[in-house]
Structures are given as C-alpha cells and as structure tokens.
Structure 1
Amino acid sequence: MTPPSSQTKADRPLLALAFRLGGIAGFALMAALIKLAAESGVHIVELIFWRQLVSLPILLGWALLTDGLMQLATKRPKAHAVRAAYGIVGMVLNFGGVILLPLAEATTLGFTAPIFAVLLSIVLLKESVGIWRWSAVIAGFIGIVIIAQPGSGAIPLTGALVALGGAFMIALISIQIRDLSRTDSPLVIVFWFSLATVVTLLVPVLVLFEPHSTREWLLLLGIGLAGTVGQVLITMALRFGQVSSVIMMDYSSIIWATLYGWLFFAMLPTSALWIGAPVVILSGLVITWRERVVAGRLPVERQGRAGT
C-alpha cells in the first residue's frame, strides 16, 4: 500500500469536512434502519446484500448521466479487490455492532477508529509516534473500558468486541481508500465495492432468503439509499481531505444515534457512556490535532523526530 502524501493539490479541507458530515448523517440513519430491520428478523447477510444492491442502479444511473459507463473503468483491480474484502468484513462487524448494542454505545465505540489509525500508521506507514499520540491512544482505551464495564453485564461483551472490530476496519479502510483516491474517482471506488459485495453474497442470500413484509422491504430500501449517499460522501471526503482531518466529523454521529435511539427504540445512553464517551472523543481529537501538526512539518523534520 502506498502511503498517502501529507498534502496534495486536490485537497480542499472545508469541502472534505462538509462531505464527511453529510456522509456521517447518512450512515447514522442507515444504522437506525439496520437495527429496526434486524429486530424484524432480517438476516445480517441480507442486510448487507440489499444495502449494496440498491446502490448499484443509482451508481450506474449517475455514471450514465455524467461521463458515461466508461468512467467506471479502473486500472487497479487488485486494489479494489482488497478494498472489497476489507469492506465486506467491515460491514459485517459494523452492522453486527449496531444489532448487538444500543445505537449510542455502538456509535461511541466506533469513535475508536482514530486510535486504531495511529496503530495502523505505525505498522503500515512506518510512522514515528510519540508521547502525544500514545497518551491519546491509552486514554481512548480507558474510555472504552469505562463504557464497556467488563464483567458488569451493562452491555454485551461480544457486542463491544464486534463494534471495536468494526472501528478497526474503518481505520484500515480509510487509509486504503485514501490511496485508491489518488487514481480513481469516488464513483469508481463505491461502484466496484458495491458490485464485488453483491457478487460475493449472492449465493448466501439465495440460501438464506425468506419472504419479507412491505415494512421490511421499505427498511431494506431505506438502508440502501441512506448507505449509498453516506458512502459516496465519505469517499469524496477522503478524496479532498486528509484522513486525520476529516475523521473528526464522525463525532457528530453521537447526536443522531442518541436521537434515533430515543425515537425508535425508547433508549437513552447509560451514565457510563456519558463518562466514557468524552474520553474517547477527546483522545480522537488529540490524535487529529497532533497528526495535523506533524503533517505540517517538512518531510526531513518529520523523519528526524521520534517525539511526536
């Protein structure tokens, strides 16, 4: 994987932040609809399949109305295959976290993506990480412990682990999309991911398929529409801005999760969440701030310092 450059001529930070904010709103609505559909008995494999299948005609129509289907061609099929593999695993974990946990808790555990991004930057990008970011990582994991309350039974441990796995995949996918965005447009990236997911899950869906009510079909349609809008906007944000900068917009999802949790499920966040969430969010903000400071330095200085 090619490390993304710290700044490119295509970067437009404010536009990237706006795209990310809109994308997060779309994903928050999708999460609420996923939980409603799962409670109605729709299997998670079906949820993922129909979420992606609904997006394909939208993406194809978009391509036809703009520069034609030829714009969907790519010279990096292997990179898209890797992105699709990551994406399918990430969707299973993120959908699973939403199904197994209250919306607010699942959303907050998803905020650990910047923490995992720091760890991945060490392994994949060979970055030097010092006291600021290491402290934020440790604080973030303390926040996770406060929210999860291991051994108390406050929230399902399995659900917490699944949600954390989803956050890890978000961090990994963000770095990979940033690399793909150097050569391919957001439309191309989203299209090939959707197509690969549909093809991969077609046989399992045929085996698991059961008749659905009108309400369930409407939920599946809503999941596909909200998810497509969210995914396109998220991908566009990573095209126009740095991962470490745009990811801070993810914290707006706690507002939507709390609202939807109250409206649809009559559930409000626990007291532990109100204590742990600020710790997790603060750690993410510190990581974001520090990475922007590091990104603003000259390459020579960045390589020569170990105390960032």
Structure 2
Amino acid sequence: MNTPPVNIAPVAPSGAAQAAPRADRPLLAISLRLCAMVLLATMFMLVKYVGEYGVAATEVMFWRQAVTVPLVLFWLGARGQLGVLRTTRMASHARRAATGTAGLFCNVTAAMLLPLSEATTLGFTTPLFAVLIAAVVFRQPVGVWRWTAVVLGFVGVLIISQPGHEPVSPWGVAAGLGAGLLVALVSFQIRDLARTEAPICCVFWFAFYGALIASLLLPTSITPHDATEWALLIGVGVSGTLAQLLITFSLRFGQVATVVVMDYTALVWATAYGWLIWDRLPSAATWLGAPAIVAAGLVITWREHRLSRAISPGSSLEDV
C-alpha cells in the first residue's frame, strides 16, 4: 500500500508572507545544481588541502562562514536589495545556524580525515536520516520502499567503513555520519524558514550566526598564516558561498525531485580531485558501498516525487 503524502514541515506563523510562485525552468535548475556540485567539491578539496597545512577545522569553519557575510552584503547592496535581509524570525535563523554550524564542522572534519570520495559519499546519507527523523520525530508513516532504502544505504556505510578489516578513520566516518544527520535536521528547519524568508536571507543569516558561533572557538585554534594558507582559506569561503547560493537558487527554478539527483555528481568531482591532487582513487570498499548509498538516496527521491511532495527533506547539501 502506498504511503499517503504528509507535510512534515512545521507550519509558518499565522499571517506570514508567502513567496510568489515561480514557473519551473528545469534545465536552468539542473545547470545551477551541477555548477554548485563542482564548487562544493572544490570547497572540500580546499578544506582538505588547507588541513594538511595544519589549519584547525574550527578555524576553517569560521572563514567558510565569515567570507559569506561581506560577499552577500556587497551583492545585495549593489542591487539595492539589502531590505530582503529584514526578518521577523531571527530566533529561527539562529537555531538553524546552530544546527547547520555543527553540521558544517562535521563536514569539514570528515573532509580532513577521509579521502574526498569517502567523505562525499557519507554526506549522501542525509536522505536516509531524513526518513528516520520523519518517522520517529514527526510520526510520519513510512512505507516499505523508503525503509528498504534506509537499510540499503546503511549497508553501504558499513561496507565503506570496512569493520573487521583495515578501516578508514573511525573519527572521519563518525564525522561524515554526523554531518548527514545534522544536515537532515537542518533540512526541516529550512523548509519552515522557506515559507516566509527569501533564499538569500536564509543564506546570509546562516553565515552571520555561524561565523559568530565559530568565532567563539577561534582563540583555541587560530594560528598565523602565510599567503598560501590565506588564499586557501579565502578560496574555501568563496567556493562554499557560491555553492550554497547556487544550491538555494536551483530550488527556485525546479522541484527538489528534479535537481537533487544532480547532487551525486559531486562524487565524480571529489574522485577526480583525489586522483589528480593526492594520486588516490576510491578503495574497493568505496566502489561497492557508494552505489548502495546513492541508490538508496535515489529511491527515496523517487518516492518523494511519487508522493507529490512540494519540498523533500532529501536536499542533502543545503548547508555547506
């Protein structure tokens, strides 16, 4: 029996403004998402590279967020659109930023500790955690297709982590799975905010509060940098900002079920960077486990589309 579609997003405050509907432009949406995945893979490559210089994950996380704030302000100011940042939901933005910053820390840590292909693959577990959250927290009925996808996905995780053999970094695996869980939680918060807030407003306040949160950790981790390290840190911030903007705006022109499939192309770029820069291709375990995780995500996306959801929690790379 098919599971009936249930809107699991929290209801926006009464009287909240609704965004004007936009006509779908699927080719544009897919193109934006593909470009975002190139930038996202580039960001994590730079994260891993700067980590090899000894820069702490907490400092990388700060610069990833801090660079976004002036970039967004400059762009909106040049267009005379600073007013779009006004909001009556500052507490919601702060809560989203707290969860998203924790997820970003996990993503950065996984990129530093794991080969890029493995770290990227573990990031694809977000749809699996989203299904678990929907079932356990929101009490949404979940049918056999999505439960099967969850089991298949976590079998893939077990294969990649290689228990009983020579494993990849257990802390890296834990960070990758933590990122998947936290970004899934953020997806539900974003769904709520998207009812009343412009995408660029969500991006800005996430970066603003995220930088404030990360700055609290700077005294314990900041170190002097040479020109190369500063260039890498700024590159992390710029590529991450552009990736997040393109991910966000791709959803203005296409349904999640259409564009989210493009997220898996990030694995292609991560593998290419791993080979070109570190002369490392994915292990045999990754070649076996990654298809299981990707297939699980595709099944969940397909079911979301079949159940006619307006917005799916499977947008796995919203906070980067």
Contact map agreement 2:98 2:213 (CA 8 A) in 1:
no
**Shift in Å at residue 113 of structure 1?**
1.2
The number of residues matched between the two structures is 294
1:131 aligns with 2:144: yes
Greater alpha carbon shift after TM alignment, 194-203 vs 278-287 = 194-203
Q: How does 1:34-183 map to 2 (within 5 A)?
A: 34-183=47-196
Give 1:285 shift.
Answer: 0.8
Secondary structure at the counterpart of residue 295 of structure 1: coil
Q: CA RMSD in A?
A: 2.1
Question: Counterpart amino acid of 1:63?
Answer: L
SS at match of 1:151: coil
Deviation at 1:24, TM superposition (A): 2.0
Q: 1:211 to 1:64 in 2, by over 3 A?
A: same
Asked if 1:22 corresponds to 2:35, the answer is: yes
- Alignment pair present for 1:198 and 2:206: no
Deviation, 1:207, is 4.2
Using the TM superposition, give the Cα deviation of residue 157 of structure 1 relative to its aligned residue in structure 2, in angstroms.
Answer: 1.8
* Matched letter for residue 10 of structure 2: T
- Aligned residue for 1:183, secondary structure, equals coil
Q: Distance in 2 between matches of 1:174 and 1:13?
A: 23
**Kept after mapping to 2: 8 A contact 1:101/1:156:** yes
Deviation string, structure 1 residues 177-222 (Cα, Å, up to 9, x no partner): 1221221112111111111122222242144321101110000010
- Residue 23 (structure 1) shift: 2.0
Distance in 2 (alpha carbons) for counterparts of 1:263 and 1:191: 33
Closer/same/farther in 2, CA of residues 76 and 296 from structure 1, 3 Å limit: closer
Identity among equivalent pairs (%)? 44
User: Shift of the alpha carbon at 1:145?
Assistant: 1.0
TM-fit CA distance, 1:2: 1.3
Query: 2:24 maps to which residue?
Result: 12
Matched, 1:269 2:282: yes
Shift of 1:51: 1.2
Partner of 2:213: helix, strand, or coil? helix
1:124-162 per-position Cα deviation (integer Å, ceiling 9, x unaligned): 443211111111111111111111111313311221111
Query: Paired residue for 2:3?
Result: none
CA–CA distance in structure 1, aligned partners of residues 31 and 188 of structure 2? 19
Among 222, 231, 243, the alignment partner of 1:230 is 243
CA distance in 1, matches of 2:224, 2:83: 37
Query: For 2:67, what is the secondary structure of its paired residue?
Result: helix
The answer as to whether partners of 1:181 and 1:238 remain within 8 angstroms in 2 is no
Residue 105 of structure 1 aligns with an amino acid whose one-letter code is E
Structure 2: state its 5+ residue gaps.
Answer: 1-8, 13-19, 311-320
| CA pair 137-245 structure 1, distance change in 2 beyond 3 A | farther
TM-score scaled by structure 1? 0.89
Instruction: Indicate if the aligned counterparts of 1:150 and 1:157 stay in contact, CA closer than 8 A.
Output: no
Preserved contact between residue 3 and residue 125 of structure 1 (Cα < 8 Å): no
Would you say the 8 A contact 2:25–2:253 is kept in 1? yes
Question: Which residue does the alignment assign to 2:229?
Answer: 216
Change (3 A) 1:11 1:126: farther
Partner of 2:263: 250
Q: Distance in 1 between matches of 2:23 and 2:120?
A: 28
| Equivalent pair of 1:178/1:239 in contact (CA under 8 Å) | no
Judging by fraction of residues, say which structure has more helix. 1
